[in-house]
Structure 1
Amino acid sequence: MGFEPPRLCVQVKSGNDPVDVKVLRELQGVMKNFGAESGLLVSWGGFKPTVISEGRRLFFEIRLWDSGNLIEAVLNHYDELPAELQAELPLKRVWALVLQE
């Protein structure tokens, strides 16, 4: 039912401004309260340098995804998404010929 480890907490910020370290600390607190081993902080607007620095230190505990990481994950795993979600986000793969140099 999803109650057994590993537990993952995800926090998503959809604004255009980079998030600061306060948001990262809030995620750490929620993880502790819920006994989560891992966290994912997603920020469409990216991260302030202090968050990136702290994210390196917390790499095995919390991952940071900006808009580029999110788009890459969706594109890499689109075929694995449920049909309902694919219908909400309709994408079509396009192939292009690469000319030899």
Structure 2
Amino acid sequence: MRATIDGVLLADADPQHLITIEGNFYFPPDSLTIGTLQESPTPYVCPWKGRAHYYSVETPHREHRDAAWCYPQPRRSAIETVGHDFTGYVAFDTTRVVIE
């Protein structure tokens, strides 16, 4: 599966390597296109997954603020609930990023 925005490839991974959580596809860190995600200062804490880290994407057309996120240190209980360690996996805002 591929994640793109404004024609820019953000991630590309075999579907079997993705983790689905609450309807979002989380891409493994090694599937990300280097240099496409810029750290965002936006704070967020999920009640069951823990502290999220947001990323913005700058394309030739515009900046897409907080278009992606990950959990750098998800709660152990969240990993157990999901059934997979999703540390560092990145999900994308599907209202702006095309997942296909």
- TM-score under structure 2 length normalisation: 0.23
Greater length-normalized contact order (CA 8 Å, ≥ 6 residues apart): 2
| Structure number, greater radius of gyration | 1
- Compare the two structures and name the one with the higher helix fraction: 1
- TM-score under structure 1 length normalisation: 0.23
